[in-house]
Structure 1
Amino acid sequence: MTPVTPATPGPATLDAADPLAAYRDRFVGAESPLVYFDGNSLGRPLRVTGPRLARFVDQEWGGRLIRGWDEDWLALPERVGDDLGRVCLGAAPGQTVVGDSTTVLLYKLVRAAVALRPGRTEIVLDRDNFPTDRYVAQGVAAECGLTLRWIETDPAGGVEADQLAEVVGERTALVLLSHVAYRSAWLADAPRLTRIAHDAGALVLWDLCHSAGVVPVELDAWDVDLAVGCSYKYLNAGPGAPAWAYVARRLLEDTERPFVQPVQGWIGAADSFAMGPDYRPAPGIRRVLSGTPPVLGMLPLRDMLEVLAEAGIEAVRAKSVALTSYAAELGEELLGDLGVRLASPREVERRGGHVTLDHPQMREVTARLWQRDVLPDFREPHGLRLGLSPLSTSFAEVASGIEAVRHELVDLRR
């Protein structure tokens, strides 16, 4: 088979012109020849995180011991939440908190949201939403006697405004959507979809797992009600790192319809150490918490938020757009003759931080790539997903990975 010579600019030229290129050196392993296309599933660790964790063990945990809770640790969920809101979410202080897993926080927020809309009997979501979102919604619907209204979407796209407008109405309690589709990278028009839901009297819960840290978000300006996200993808906080939740201040301060989440634990109580006989929720965002804060898990998150604040989320988004555009163009140039098609939006304003390439043999290709230290994701039915974390991914890395995909597809044809 005749080699294909790409017409796009060379990766060396693009890397030389990249204003964020130097940030790559801050990540563990970035200097290796391994090609990492999975930053939207698990981000690389920062080099500063290992020493920070060691200092914490020696000085704070080992030195301060139980005193650490009063001196710093109990305040971390709200403090780190405020930093996250400021750097990545467009959220004023007092509305974001860190703790639990994404699944647990989704349950808490979905359950609280439907309770805020008594008499309404439907939750609206799409068939291609991330499995956890769908499973949690199914569980809450069964628990509360509600009905799920499904939006059918193209796996290479996402929820459009007219699709949402068609299904919401006076029965809708909650609309549950992902800002960036996990399969296609479809970037939803969050402000418009939020307005459509609000016009029907419903609340909106946005899943920002594939947005936070790579796509600018303006939760306050968009009038979003609720949001949830993880911190181990583009926020690089490590495997099993805690998730976070956003609840709009107007919901937290509403005395006529109090925001009550269903998992009542001691940390979310008004006076945690009173150990009283009855639960009274804490004022503000702290009421979303239940159990002991995941202190160790928040340390890498703080490191990454410092880096994102330094780089600027708009600059990160610009690099992300450049990377995904390069991957899409190079993929079509080098792989198009092999039957590969782009399964992500072409329009950059409709695309998040990853690109999916479809081919019937991508499952086999993924397994082969992992054997040669090229690490993408595979997503059903035929998707090779390239998660390009802007601060740790180079254009040369993208080019090397796409060339490896071509090699494996050609080899499978023999």
Structure 2
Amino acid sequence: MSETTELAFKAQELDAGDELAGVRSRFVLDDVVYLDGNSLGALPAAVPGRVDDVVRRQWGELRIRSWDESGWWTAPERIGDRIAPLVGAAAGQIVAGDSTSVNVFKALVGAVRLARLGGSVRDEIVVDATTFPTDGYMAESAARMTGCTLRPVTPAQVPGVLGDRTAAVLLNHVDYRTGRLHDLPGLTAAVHAAGAIAVWDLCHSAGALPVGLDEHGVDLAVGCTYKYLNGGPGSPAYLYVRREIQHRFDSPLPGWNSHAEPFGMRPDYEPASGALRGRVGTPDILSMLALEAALEVWDGVSIDAVRVKSLALTDFFLECVAEYVPPGRVETLTPVAHEERGSQVALRCSPTLGSARAGGTPIAGEVMKRLIERGVVGDFRRPDVLRFGFTPLYVGFADVERAAGVLGETLRGDLAGY
């Protein structure tokens, strides 16, 4: 029996023992191997019908009555409570709405204000130097607004730079390029030991692995819902505010939706109680309720089971890549150790098409283009990274074996000489 056949047979056995295999039917899928759920999750089957109802009946027939009768007004906190168990939070601490970028800004400025309560002189924001660009942009703006110095460092360097001037620390739970999982419990503890406020970006971990916001005492957290939570393109993000600090959280965007008496139309602002302080303007109801329908795929699903399958999928992918891809063609950037790995695998594919000295095109972009043409969808990050995201709710082990096989064939074909 060839090794190729052995790995295909192993994939069949793993799929046969997969306790989450039945969840796949809750999505609209085809014969494409979809490994880009770390950018945009697949469509849950319940969403089209729900959106049709929202548009035709709730908006088309009930119209403005739907703010009360269809529950539009309470959607942000209701959906927040639906997200809460997926990130290890009790109800009443998450509000859905706005974009990740807006929520990062709210959280960071709010964190600095929290750190300065009681007259403390704290004038530095520490930010992950490898962060997704929007987090860095927002951190820079928040620093200007609050009169802070911005200090970009790698997550590993964070404990060594914390001090009595540190106000807030913004970190990514999983690195978007490499899939590296950072030490949320340990880094949060270090931030608290320095008297600062911990803010975490969960975009690449929520819905893929346990987070433990309450367990680890995270102060503030933000995240998107269109990746592993499958909420749809541009679906609302969310803001977590730990219960113990909610009464002191001072949002820099005090919109009418976060007012204690929003329909009082008072000229003076009085913040609502609880996580509702994180609301700003009128909720985006169409995308909000599409997200609510999408979250139904999590009914009866354990995030711990998702993590077990995620690690098994990524382990198997690395095994298949090692067997199918010619030696030296790719380098794995994602940590092998389970405690340091998210739910994606990043492979560096660094040779160039054409002369490197003449500014040749990195081969990775062409490789991904050809994978997509053959029904394996991942994505490419400049200059030379192939990213493959593994959503355990709908990705199977046969998908993984096929993807690695197509990658190997692509790099052994007419690109073999590069």
Alignment deviations for residues 368-389 of structure 1 (CA, whole Å, 9 cap, x no partner): 2223332111123321110011
Partner residue, 1:393: 395
CA contact (8 A) 2:259 2:277 kept: yes
Partner residue, 1:92: 90
Report the 3-state secondary structure (helix = DSSP H, G, I; strand = E; otherwise coil) of the residue aligned with 1:246. Answer: strand
Partner residue, 1:74: 73
Alignment deviations for residues 226-274 of structure 1 (CA, whole Å, 9 cap, x no partner): 0000000011010010000000111112xxxx32111121111111111
Partner residue, 1:216: 210
- Cα distance in 2, alignment partners of residues 113 and 375 from structure 1: 38
Report the 3-state secondary structure (helix = DSSP H, G, I; strand = E; otherwise coil) of the residue aligned with 2:204. Answer: coil
Matches within 5 A, 1:334-413: 334-360=324-350, 361-410=363-412, 411-413=414-416
CA contact (8 A) 1:216 1:313 kept: yes
Matches within 5 A, 1:58-207: 58-71=56-69, 72-86=71-85, 88-118=86-116, 119-152=121-154, 159-160=155-156, 163-207=157-201
Count of equivalent residues:
397
Report the 3-state secondary structure (helix = DSSP H, G, I; strand = E; otherwise coil) of the residue aligned with 1:232. Answer: coil
Alignment deviations for residues 175-195 of structure 1 (CA, whole Å, 9 cap, x no partner): 110111111111112111101
Report the 3-state secondary structure (helix = DSSP H, G, I; strand = E; otherwise coil) of the residue aligned with 2:101. Answer: helix
- TM-score when normalising by structure 2: 0.91
> Letter of the aligned partner of 1:279 in structure 2?
Y
CA contact (8 A) 1:266 1:272 kept: yes
Partner residue, 1:226: 220
Give 1:294 deviation, angstroms.
1.8
> Letter of the aligned partner of 1:78 in structure 2?
E
Q: Which runs of 5+ in 2 are unaligned?
A: 351-362
- Between the two proteins, what is the percent identity of the paired residues? 46
Alignment deviations for residues 301-355 of structure 1 (CA, whole Å, 9 cap, x no partner): 2233332231211111111111111111211222251421211010112111111
Q: Which runs of 5+ in 1 are unaligned?
A: 153-158
- Cα distance in 2, alignment partners of residues 177 and 53 from structure 1: 34
Give 1:7 deviation, angstroms.
6.0
Partner residue, 1:155: none
CA contact (8 A) 2:38 2:344 kept: yes
- Cα distance in 2, alignment partners of residues 107 and 123 from structure 1: 12
Equivalent residue in structure 2 for 1:302, among 281, 292, 305: 292
CA contact (8 A) 1:6 1:330 kept: no
- Cα distance in 2, alignment partners of residues 120 and 80 from structure 1: 34
Partner residue, 1:317: 307
Partner residue, 2:359: none
Equivalent residue in structure 2 for 1:285, among 254, 272, 275: 275
Measured at CA, do residues 6 and 226 of structure 1 come closer, stay the same or move farther in structure 2, by a change above 3 Å? farther
> Letter of the aligned partner of 1:383 in structure 2?
V
- Cα distance in 2, alignment partners of residues 138 and 402 from structure 1: 40
Partner residue, 1:46: 44
Partner residue, 1:156: none
CA contact (8 A) 1:85 1:92 kept: yes
> Letter of the aligned partner of 1:141 in structure 2?
A
> Letter of the aligned partner of 1:112 in structure 2?
G
Give 1:117 deviation, angstroms.
2.1
CA contact (8 A) 1:178 1:207 kept: yes
- TM-score when normalising by structure 1: 0.92
Equivalent residue in structure 2 for 1:330, among 320, 324, 347: 320
Measured at CA, do residues 336 and 175 of structure 1 come closer, stay the same or move farther in structure 2, by a change above 3 Å? farther
CA contact (8 A) 2:128 2:172 kept: no
CA contact (8 A) 2:329 2:411 kept: no
CA RMSD of aligned residues (A): 1.7
- Cα distance in 1, alignment partners of residues 256 and 126 from structure 2: 32
Alignment deviations for residues 55-105 of structure 1 (CA, whole Å, 9 cap, x no partner): 22232222321111123111111111112113x022112110000000011
CA contact (8 A) 2:231 2:295 kept: no
- Cα distance in 2, alignment partners of residues 391 and 89 from structure 1: 16
CA contact (8 A) 1:6 1:334 kept: no
CA contact (8 A) 2:324 2:405 kept: yes
Structure 1 window deviating more from structure 2 (126-135 vs 227-236): it is 126-135
